[in-house]
Amino acid sequence: MCSCFTLFIVLYLLNMPDESFGEMFTSMLSVNQAVSAERKLIDHLIIYIEHEAQRLEDIKRFFSRVTSLHDGIYNEPSDPIANPIAAFKLVKRLKSEWLNVVHSTEAEENIKVLREDYRRMESSLPKLEDLRGAAHGLMRLQDVYNLHVESLVRGHFQQISDPVDFYKLSVSDMLSGDDCFLVGKVAYDLEDYYHSVLWFEEAVRLFRGTEWSPENEGTLEDALDHLAFSHFKTGNISHALSLSRELLLHDPMNRRVHFNVEKYEKLLNENLPATSSGLTLKRPDGIYLRTRNAYEQLCQTKGSQPIRREIISLQPYVVLFHGFVTQAEAKNIRKYAMPGLRRSVVASGMNQATAEYRISKSAWLKESAHEVVGKLDQRITLVTGLNVQPPYAEYLQVVNYGIGGHYEPHFDHATSDSSPLYRLKTGNRVATIMIYLSPVQAGGSTAFIYANFSVPVVQNAALFWWNLHKNGQGNVDTLHAGCPVIVGNKWGMFKNKNFHKVTCTAVTNIVHPKIIILSSSTHSPLVQILFKFFSYVQHNRTYTEEWWKPLLYILYFDLYNGCQWLLFFNILQKILFCLHPKKETHKSLELF
Ligand SMILES: *[C@@H]1O[C@H](CO)[C@@H](O)[C@H](O)[C@H]1NC(C)=O
Ligand SMILES: *[C@@H]1O[C@H](CO)[C@@H](O)[C@H](O)[C@H]1NC(C)=O
Ligand SMILES: *[C@@H]1O[C@H](CO)[C@@H](O)[C@H](O)[C@H]1NC(C)=O
């Protein structure tokens, strides 16, 4: 960036101000083209330098010939005028040779060639607009990244608040006093004295220590003059005065500056208290002022990061949500769960029992336990679209694995009708989300045995999978196990979403309702009746296929919860509700 910037400035001097609209600053590709344009200019310049050197050589030769004559023949004690040859040559030199040297047009011809070469390239060179655009680009970086101008000038990217390079350029370059002067001038011309003060200050500082060079646009005096006026405009009159006084040391005859000094002195005498009170430079207001701070903050920091979803497997559907909890949340959850930790149990027949194949301690965390639990529930809903508020889901279960802690292959959903899950009337487990609350140095992956993959522990991530197919049957591919922890303290948190609620909008998710009926326990009398009912409506062409899906869904749902005749009529009623009132189809349907 910086080297290109210097390039623009060199060209600006050679280029007469051109108001045609430049566009070079709008893309880095054009900046690359400018690099090759300058290479060509360098080639032209070296030819010019060679010709000029040759010309000077010729002049020097003439000079040494004439001086040696004066050291020699005209120094003789004998009268040189007596030598007619010497006399002739003297007359000829004075009349002709000096004339030719003094009036030589060679210098003009050389510069003319250079200028013509330059003019031929002019269309491919940056315009004034480009120079201004590049200067604005630097000021934009300064503002948006809150850059310290003095460091930027030295080629370092440092924030005002933090004097450490947040980015190091591989090829570093610095800005000269004249570079800073031009940036300041762009701001100054727009009456943006906030930026002009900062950049002219750098220009003055750098000009003070260096010699003027022919390619420069500004001088120390120019910079002092502009800086003093910028300070005056921002209300810093005492500083405007001292800068103007410094300027007078370099340019004592400048009447305008003398006049300014008098004016500043007068102002200071009149109004001392007001001007000395803490002035702070204010950035000019942009068009997008309302969102500017937020925008700049987000350019400097990442803000609140989206949760990244990594699809681990499509069959079964297993995804990992990265950065699901923050470090602090994880710590809090561990802390809140600590007092409630008990040896983990497993479903065993109709009861729950501890088992060798599950070595861990666990605790249930209710929403009321801590606000973080409620926040996590909301987040789970956000990423999965599932209502996980109890009673539609189980409480969060925090698990801490012990030495060689593990959980041998198992399903999270119930695979038999006698499972205690059903006695709780919660329905089967649709999905599981497992949140990793700590890092584990070695071991502790979750292995999906039939699907043939395992997912290592990713701290603060959450692993999610569907236990059931869309038709409600258990997905055998979800057979999984918690691998033993080799080194580390594995903390996890589970949440199981149960089948508990049917909404009319959810019914379209049922893909193959017929399969449910045929594969379920068809000996149940309720199923028999409903099955007949479906066949009947299915064959009635006046009904669309869509309408009976909710019925099947509810039937299937009910199968899992044990059929009860009394509920049958209730169910039918709900079905009618689901089918008919269109305006209310999004209302949820609670069955139990
Ligand atoms: C005036 O500007 C100088 C140099 O930037 C600064 O040190 C001083 O604090 C300013 N004075 C006021 C009153 O802001
Ligand atoms: C599981 O995947 C691994 C790695 O791709 C492969 O070598 C192995 O044969 C697979 N096992 C089964 C049972 O498919
Ligand atoms: C189909 O359903 C409609 C609406 O209830 C009913 O009037 C009609 O009799 C049925 N048709 C047959 C063939 O069952």
DSSP letters for 61-106: HHHHHHHHHHHTGGGSSS-GGG-HHHHHHHHHIIIIIHHHHHT--H
Q: How far apart are CA 435 and CA 460, in angstroms?
A: 7
- pLDDT tops 60 at residue 525: no
DSSP-derived letter for residue 524 is: S
- pLDDT range class, residue 531, cuts 50, 70, 90: low
Summarize pLDDT for 292-305 with one digit per residue, the tens.
888 888 888 888 77
Identify any residues that bridge with 364 across adjacent strands, giving them in sequence order.
397
Q: Check residues 90 and 386 and name the one with the higher pLDDT.
A: 90
Lowest mean pLDDT across 169-178, 313-322, 513-522, 524-533 = 513-522
Q: Check residues 314 and 567 and name the one with the higher pLDDT.
A: 314
- pLDDT tops 50 at residue 406: yes
Q: Check residues 42 and 446 and name the one with the higher pLDDT.
A: 42
For residue 540, report the distance from its CA to the centre of ligand 3, in Å. Answer: 6
Residue % of the chain over a pLDDT of 70:
66
- pLDDT tops 80 at residue 143: yes
Token pair 């002219």 is at which residue? 200
Residue type, 192: D
- pLDDT tops 90 at residue 106: yes
Average pLDDT over residues 81-85: 77
Fold of 307-499: Jelly Rolls (2.60.120)
Instruction: Supply the pLDDT for residue 349.
Output: 46
Residue among 195, 239, 279 to mutate when testing ligand 1 (max atoms within 8 A of CB): 239
* In the chain, domain spans: 28-124, 128-273, 307-499, 504-589
Instruction: Supply the pLDDT for residue 398.
Output: 76
Is 161's C-beta closer than 6 angstroms to any atom of ligand 3?
no
Q: Check residues 565 and 466 and name the one with the higher pLDDT.
A: 466
Q: In sequence order, what are the residues at sequence separation of 6 or more whose Cβ sits closer than 8 angstroms to the Cβ of residue 537?
A: 543, 547, 548
Q: Output b/e per residue, 471-487; b: 16+ Cβ within 10 A.
A: bbebbebbbbbbbbbee
- pLDDT tops 50 at residue 176: yes
Average pLDDT over residues 43-51: 96
Summarize pLDDT for 208-229 with one digit per residue, the tens.
988 878 888 899 999 999 999 9
Instruction: Supply the pLDDT for residue 457.
Output: 85
pTM of the model: 0.59
- pLDDT tops 60 at residue 52: yes
For residue 379, report the distance from its CA to the centre of ligand 2, in Å. Answer: 35
Summarize pLDDT for 232-268 with one digit per residue, the tens.
998 899 999 999 999 999 999 999 999 999 999 998 8
Is the CATH number 1.20.1250.20 carried by domain 128-273? no
Q: Check residues 555 and 282 and name the one with the higher pLDDT.
A: 282
For residue 542, report the distance from its CA to the centre of ligand 3, in Å. Answer: 7
Summarize pLDDT for 418-428 with one digit per residue, the tens.
666 555 555 67
Looking at ligand 3, which residue's alpha carbon is closest to its atom 14? 540
DSSP-derived letter for residue 395 is: P
Instruction: Supply the pLDDT for residue 583.
Output: 38
Looking at ligand 1, which residue's alpha carbon is closest to its atom 13? 276
Ligand closest to the CA atom of residue 450: 2
Instruction: Supply the pLDDT for residue 517.
Output: 33
Instruction: Supply the pLDDT for residue 241.
Output: 94
Is the separation of the CB atoms in 343 and 355 below 8 Å? no
- pLDDT range class, residue 335, cuts 50, 70, 90: confident
- pLDDT range class, residue 285, cuts 50, 70, 90: confident
How many residues are there in the chain?
Answer: 592
Q: In sequence order, what are the residues at sequence separation of 6 or more whose Cβ sits closer than 8 angstroms to the Cβ of residue 246?
A: 224
For residue 449, report the distance from its CA to the centre of ligand 2, in Å. Answer: 10
Please give the mean pLDDT across all residues of the chain: 75
- pLDDT range class, residue 61, cuts 50, 70, 90: very high
Instruction: Supply the pLDDT for residue 501.
Output: 33
Is 542's C-beta closer than 6 angstroms to any atom of ligand 3?
yes
Instruction: Supply the pLDDT for residue 402.
Output: 59
Instruction: Supply the pLDDT for residue 83.
Output: 79
Q: How far apart are CA 51 and CA 557, in angstroms?
A: 97
Q: Which atom of ligand 3 is nearest to the CA of 536?
A: 14
Ligand closest to the CA atom of residue 448: 2
Residue among 279, 281, 282 to mutate when testing ligand 1 (max atoms within 8 A of CB): 279
- pLDDT tops 90 at residue 498: no
Q: In sequence order, what are the residues at sequence separation of 6 or more whose Cβ sits closer than 8 angstroms to the Cβ of residue 255?
A: none
- How far does the chain reach from its first CA to its final CA, in angstroms? 68
Instruction: Supply the pLDDT for residue 7.
Output: 37
Lowest mean pLDDT across 23-37, 62-76, 553-567 = 553-567
For residue 580, report the distance from its CA to the centre of ligand 3, in Å. Answer: 16
How many of the other CB atoms lie within 10 Å of CB of 342? 10
- pLDDT range class, residue 201, cuts 50, 70, 90: very high
Is the separation of the CB atoms in 361 and 400 below 8 Å? yes
Instruction: Supply the pLDDT for residue 245.
Output: 94
Looking at ligand 1, which residue's alpha carbon is closest to its atom 10? 236
